[in-house]
Amino acid sequence: MAETRYTNEHEWIRLEGDVATIGISVYAQEQLGDVVFVELPDVGRKVAPGDDMAVVESVKAASEVYAPVAGEVAEVNAALVDKPEAINEDAEGAGWFVKLAGVDGAAVAELMDGTAYKKYVEDLE
Protein backbone atom coordinates (compact mmCIF):
# COMPACT_ATOMS: atom_id res chain seq x y z
CA MET A 1 0.00 0.00 0.00
CA ALA A 2 1.19 3.50 -0.82
CA GLU A 3 2.41 5.76 1.96
CA THR A 4 -0.08 8.32 3.24
CA ARG A 5 1.08 11.95 3.33
CA TYR A 6 -0.69 14.92 4.95
CA THR A 7 -1.12 18.69 4.56
CA ASN A 8 -1.38 21.47 7.15
CA GLU A 9 -5.04 21.78 6.13
CA HIS A 10 -5.66 18.13 7.15
CA GLU A 11 -5.98 16.52 3.73
CA TRP A 12 -4.38 13.14 3.17
CA ILE A 13 -2.97 11.85 -0.09
CA ARG A 14 -1.86 8.42 -1.28
CA LEU A 15 0.04 8.11 -4.57
CA GLU A 16 -0.06 4.99 -6.72
CA GLY A 17 1.81 5.51 -9.98
CA ASP A 18 0.80 9.03 -11.03
CA VAL A 19 -2.72 8.79 -9.56
CA ALA A 20 -3.31 10.23 -6.10
CA THR A 21 -6.29 9.47 -3.86
CA ILE A 22 -7.21 12.39 -1.59
CA GLY A 23 -9.47 12.84 1.41
CA ILE A 24 -9.59 14.50 4.81
CA SER A 25 -7.79 13.14 7.85
CA VAL A 26 -9.36 11.39 10.81
CA TYR A 27 -8.47 14.48 12.86
CA ALA A 28 -10.34 16.75 10.40
CA GLN A 29 -13.51 14.66 10.43
CA GLU A 30 -13.40 14.51 14.24
CA GLN A 31 -13.25 18.32 14.33
CA LEU A 32 -16.14 18.61 11.87
CA GLY A 33 -18.44 16.17 13.62
CA ASP A 34 -21.23 14.42 11.72
CA VAL A 35 -20.77 15.03 7.99
CA VAL A 36 -24.11 15.70 6.25
CA PHE A 37 -23.17 16.91 2.74
CA VAL A 38 -20.30 16.73 0.27
CA GLU A 39 -19.77 18.72 -2.92
CA LEU A 40 -17.31 17.09 -5.29
CA PRO A 41 -15.52 18.60 -8.31
CA ASP A 42 -16.20 17.71 -11.93
CA VAL A 43 -14.11 14.96 -13.50
CA GLY A 44 -11.61 16.56 -15.87
CA ARG A 45 -11.11 19.67 -13.73
CA LYS A 46 -7.47 20.68 -13.36
CA VAL A 47 -6.33 21.81 -9.92
CA ALA A 48 -3.21 23.47 -8.59
CA PRO A 49 -1.85 23.06 -5.05
CA GLY A 50 -4.08 24.94 -2.62
CA ASP A 51 -7.08 25.19 -4.96
CA ASP A 52 -10.52 24.61 -3.46
CA MET A 53 -11.36 21.14 -4.69
CA ALA A 54 -14.43 20.05 -2.74
CA VAL A 55 -16.69 21.12 0.11
CA VAL A 56 -17.61 19.08 3.16
CA GLU A 57 -20.45 20.19 5.43
CA SER A 58 -21.17 18.92 8.90
CA VAL A 59 -23.67 19.76 11.60
CA LYS A 60 -21.00 22.17 12.94
CA ALA A 61 -19.51 23.85 9.85
CA ALA A 62 -18.71 23.81 6.16
CA SER A 63 -15.09 23.42 5.11
CA GLU A 64 -13.17 23.54 1.87
CA VAL A 65 -11.08 20.58 0.84
CA TYR A 66 -7.91 21.82 -0.84
CA ALA A 67 -5.80 20.17 -3.52
CA PRO A 68 -2.51 19.16 -1.88
CA VAL A 69 -0.82 18.85 -5.29
CA ALA A 70 -1.52 19.67 -8.93
CA GLY A 71 -3.38 17.24 -11.13
CA GLU A 72 -6.55 16.52 -13.05
CA VAL A 73 -9.63 15.07 -11.39
CA ALA A 74 -9.82 11.54 -12.79
CA GLU A 75 -12.49 10.17 -10.47
CA VAL A 76 -14.75 11.31 -7.64
CA ASN A 77 -16.20 9.21 -4.86
CA ALA A 78 -19.83 9.55 -5.95
CA ALA A 79 -20.92 7.28 -3.08
CA LEU A 80 -20.28 10.22 -0.71
CA VAL A 81 -23.15 12.18 -2.26
CA ASP A 82 -25.67 9.63 -1.00
CA LYS A 83 -23.70 8.57 2.07
CA PRO A 84 -21.57 11.49 3.33
CA GLU A 85 -21.33 9.81 6.74
CA ALA A 86 -18.82 7.41 5.14
CA ILE A 87 -16.30 10.18 5.86
CA ASN A 88 -16.96 9.82 9.60
CA GLU A 89 -16.88 6.03 9.38
CA ASP A 90 -13.64 5.69 7.38
CA ALA A 91 -12.07 9.10 6.64
CA GLU A 92 -8.76 7.70 5.43
CA GLY A 93 -10.23 4.79 3.50
CA ALA A 94 -13.71 4.50 1.95
CA GLY A 95 -14.33 8.19 2.70
CA TRP A 96 -11.89 9.44 0.03
CA PHE A 97 -13.01 12.41 -2.07
CA VAL A 98 -11.15 12.45 -5.39
CA LYS A 99 -8.47 10.78 -7.44
CA LEU A 100 -6.10 13.08 -9.30
CA ALA A 101 -4.18 11.96 -12.38
CA GLY A 102 -0.85 13.31 -13.58
CA VAL A 103 0.48 13.90 -10.08
CA ASP A 104 4.18 14.61 -9.50
CA GLY A 105 5.56 12.17 -6.94
CA ALA A 106 8.16 14.71 -5.78
CA ALA A 107 5.38 17.11 -4.76
CA VAL A 108 3.72 14.36 -2.71
CA ALA A 109 7.03 13.44 -1.07
CA GLU A 110 7.37 17.02 0.22
CA LEU A 111 4.21 16.67 2.34
CA MET A 112 4.21 15.45 5.96
CA ASP A 113 4.49 11.74 6.64
CA GLY A 114 2.32 10.11 9.29
CA THR A 115 4.79 10.75 12.13
CA ALA A 116 5.20 14.44 11.28
CA TYR A 117 1.44 14.89 10.89
CA LYS A 118 0.75 13.24 14.25
CA LYS A 119 3.16 15.69 15.89
CA TYR A 120 1.57 18.59 13.99
CA VAL A 121 -1.88 17.64 15.30
CA GLU A 122 -0.60 17.16 18.85
CA ASP A 123 0.89 20.66 18.72
CA LEU A 124 -2.55 22.05 17.76
CA GLU A 125 -4.24 20.64 20.85
- Walk along the chain (125 residues) and give the pLDDT tens digit of each residue: 579 999 999 999 999 999 999 999 999 999 999 999 999 999 999 999 999 999 999 998 899 999 999 999 999 999 999 999 999 999 999 999 999 999 999 999 999 999 999 999 999 88
- For 81, the domain range is 4-103+110-124
Q: What does the CA dihedral 10, 94, 20, 6 come to, rounded to 10 degrees?
A: 20
pLDDT at 2: 77
CATH number at residue 65: 2.40.50.100
Tally Cβ neighbours within 10 Å of residue 30: 12
Tally Cβ neighbours within 10 Å of residue 27: 20
Tell me the C-alpha distance between 76 and 31, whole Å. Answer: 23
pLDDT at 125: 81
pLDDT at 17: 93
Strand partners, 54: 65
Q: Which of 12, 35, 9 is nearest to 87 (CA)?
A: 35
How many structural domains does the chain have? Answer: 1
